[in-house]
Amino acid sequence: MKLLLYVGGDATRTRMFLDAFTERLPDAHIRVWEAGDTAPADYALVWKPPVELLRARPGLKAVIYLAAGVEYLADLLRRNPGLLPANVALLRLEDAGMGRQMVEYAKYHVLRYFRRMHEYDLDRGKREWRKRPPEALSGFSVGVMGLGVLGRQVATDIAEMGFPVRGWSRSSKQIEGIRCHAGQGQLGDFLDGLRVLVNLLPLTPETEDILNRDCFDRMRAPGYLINIGRGHHLAEGDLLAAIQDGRIGGAALDVFRQEPLPTDHFFWSEPRINITPHIAAVTLNDEGIAQVVQKLRALQDGLPVSGHIDMARGY
């Protein structure tokens, strides 16, 4: 089994992955891709690969993307039609320890907004001692956009805390305890009256800027946004305007159009926006590597493999 490895040119990560795969796949021949390498490979294990790595690669059976979000790869293939033969399988990581972290991040911010801690933080800055009445749990609806492996976990765990939870996805889903909506035709019903919106959608041309003025207008004011999908899902100016006019009470943003977030970006100056540096869920290396090894062995044995990327959908 010939493996071609590339993780964006990061020497430290390259060495870590190379050592790990060498240890777990002792019978495989593993090499790190370098410019000019056009030799055959059975499988490419990649993150943000250049076009040259994939073009006309002899013997290639599958590409395994070393992340759960695949918008970079999907965009690369859209911009370079025919780059890979149709019989080359495209696979991605699934969860790899990220589900638990996403649940923790989402639950923390849902509870923090529900208990009005964001308001007490603002009071502290003004040295004000002010008690507020508690919210009613039954009327505090939480919506989760994106019901894949990660979104399903987030929605289910929030529902288990007693919150009424809705879910929205491109295709129909059935999840116990969750009111599921699907497609553009049901997006309005999903959004109407939400207090908190959690976004975990994959980024596609159809979902870019989906978190916009129309979305915020349908929520019950003051709503709250938790974006742990991708930065390009959010129309940034629409969010700032919605916060300033009171339709949205605040936001927890972990992903941005430009990362790191520029120091002069207007989000830094808005105290009702909680900013984290893309850490809501980080791939756990051991779990990710174990998953890739499992996929490779299944492919070699002709067994079914999960985590296929559907290029028609872009994820």
Token look-up 């410019």 returns: 35
Concerning whether 230 is annotated as a catalytic residue, the answer is yes
Query: What single string gives the DSSP state of each residue in the chain?
Result: -EEEEEETT-HHHHHHHHHHHHHH-TTSEEEE--TT-----SEEEEES--HHHHTT-TT--EEEESSS--HHHHHHHHHSTTSS-TTSEEEE---TTHHHHHHHHHHHHHHHHHTTHHHHHHHHHHT-----PPPPGGG--EEEE--SHHHHHHHHHHHHTT--EEEEESS----TT-EEEESGGGHHHHHTT-SEEEE-PPP-TTTTT-BSHHHHHHSPSSEEEEE-S-GGGB-HHHHHHHHHTTSEEEEEE---SSSSPPTT-GGGG-TTEEE--S-SS---HHHHHHHHHHHHHHHHTT---S-B--TTTT-
- Residue 176, class by beta-carbon neighbours within 10 Å (0-12 exposed, 13-18 middle, 19+ buried)? exposed
Residue 231 φ then ψ, to 5°:
-60, -35
**Are 291 and 67 in contact, with CB atoms under 8 Å apart?**
no
CA atoms of 248 and 194, how far apart (whole Å): 11
CA atoms of 191 and 166, how far apart (whole Å): 9
Of residues 230, 232, 233, 247, which has the active-site annotation? 230
Q: What is the phi-psi region of residue 287: left when phi exceeds 0, alpha when psi lies from -120 to 50, beta otherwise? A: alpha
Of residues 13, 100, 265, 278, which has the active-site annotation? 278
Concerning whether 118 is annotated as a catalytic residue, the answer is no
Catalytic positions, please? 230, 278
